[in-house]
Chain A
Amino acid sequence: MMPASRPHIIVEDLRIGWGTRVLMEHVTFGIERGTTFAILGGSGCGKSSLLRYLIGLEQPMAGRIDIDGVGQPHLYQGMPAFGVLFQSGALFSSMTLAENLALPLTTWTPIRGATVRDLVQAKLELVGLGPFAEHLPGEISGGMKKRAGIARAMMLEPDLLFFDEPSAGLDPISAVELDELINTLSRDLGITIVIVTHELPSIFLVAHDCIVLDKIAKGIVAQGDPRALREESTIPFVHNFFTRSSPGASASPGR
Chain B
Amino acid sequence: MYQRFSRDSWRDPPIRQISVGIAAAAARKSPLMTITVRTEREGDRARLVPVGTFDVTHAPAVAQAVAQVPPDLEGCRSIDLDLTHLDRIDGAGAVLLARFLDRLDVDGDRTRIVADRNPEAARLITLYRQKRAESAPAPTRAMGLLATIGAVAADLPARVTDTLDFTGRCIAALPKIVTSPRSVDWHSLPRLVQEIGADALPVTSSANLLVGVIIGFLGVSQLGRFGAVVYVPELVVVAHFRELGPLVTAIVVAGRSGAGLASEIATMKVSEEIDALRSMKFDPLLWLVVPRCLALVLVVPLLTWVGDALALLGGLLATVAITDLTPRAYTLATIDAITASHFFGGLVKSPFLALAIGLIACAQGLATQGGAAAVGARTTTAVVLAIFGVIVINSLFTLLYVAVGV
A109, A121, A155: the one within 8 Å of B20 (CB): A109
B23–A79 CB distance below 8 A: yes
Q: Which of B125-133, B199-207, B236-244 contacts A (4 or more CB under 8 A)?
A: B125-133
Task: Collect the chain A residues with CB atoms within 8 Å of residue B134's CB.
Answer: 125, 128, 130
B91–A123 CB distance below 8 A: yes
B16, B132, B137, B371: the one within 8 Å of A122 (CB): B132
Chain B residue nearest to A134 in the complex (CB): B141
CB of B128, distance to nearest CB on chain A (Å): 5
Chain B residue nearest to A88 in the complex (CB): B371
A122–B128 CB distance below 8 A: yes
Q: Is A60 an interface residue (CB 8 A)?
A: no
Query: Count the B residues whose beta carbon is within 8 Å of the partner chain — how many?
Result: 42
**How many Å lie between the Cα of A188 and that of B137 in the bound state?**
25
A76, A112, A135, A189: the one within 8 Å of B91 (CB): A189
**How many Å lie between the Cα of A114 and that of B141 in the bound state?**
18
Residues facing A in B356-380 (CB within 8 A) are 369-374
Q: Is B298 an interface residue (CB 8 A)?
A: no
Q: Mark A68-83, 1 if CB is under 8 A from B, else 0.
A: 0000000011110000
**How many Å lie between the Cα of A156 and that of B139 in the bound state?**
26
Chain B residue nearest to A74 in the complex (CB): B15
Task: Collect the chain A residues with CB atoms within 8 Å of residue B91's CB.
Answer: 122-123, 126, 154, 157, 189
**How many Å lie between the Cα of A109 and that of B24 in the bound state?**
7
Number of A-B contacts (CB under 8 A): 117
B131–A109 CB distance below 8 A: no
Q: Mark A16-45, 1 if CB is under 8 A from B, else 0.
A: 000000000000000000000000000000
A131–B137 CB distance below 8 A: yes
B99–A156 CB distance below 8 A: no
A118–B141 CB distance below 8 A: no
Give the one of B24, B128, B135 with max A CB within 10 A: B135
Q: Is A235 an interface residue (CB 8 A)?
A: no
Q: Mark A127-170, 1 if CB is under 8 A from B, else 0.
A: 01011111111100000000000000011110000000000000
Q: Is A247 an interface residue (CB 8 A)?
A: no
Contact-size category for A: 35 or more
B15–A78 CB distance below 8 A: yes
**How many Å lie between the Cα of A133 and that of B90 in the bound state?**
22
A109–B137 CB distance below 8 A: no
CB of B92, distance to nearest CB on chain A (Å): 5
Q: Mark B32-64, 1 if CB is under 8 A from A, else 0.
A: 000000000000000000000001110110010
B99–A122 CB distance below 8 A: yes
Q: Given A93-B371, A94-B373, A157-B90, does the pair A112, B60 have CB atoms closer than 8 Å? A: yes
B128, B139, B140, B371: the one within 8 Å of A126 (CB): B128
A-B contact pairs, 19 of them (CB 8 A): A79-B19, A93-B374, A94-B372, A94-B373, A109-B23, A110-B27, A111-B56, A111-B92, A112-B60, A118-B96, A119-B56, A119-B96, A128-B134, A132-B138, A138-B370, A138-B374, A157-B56, A157-B92, A188-B123
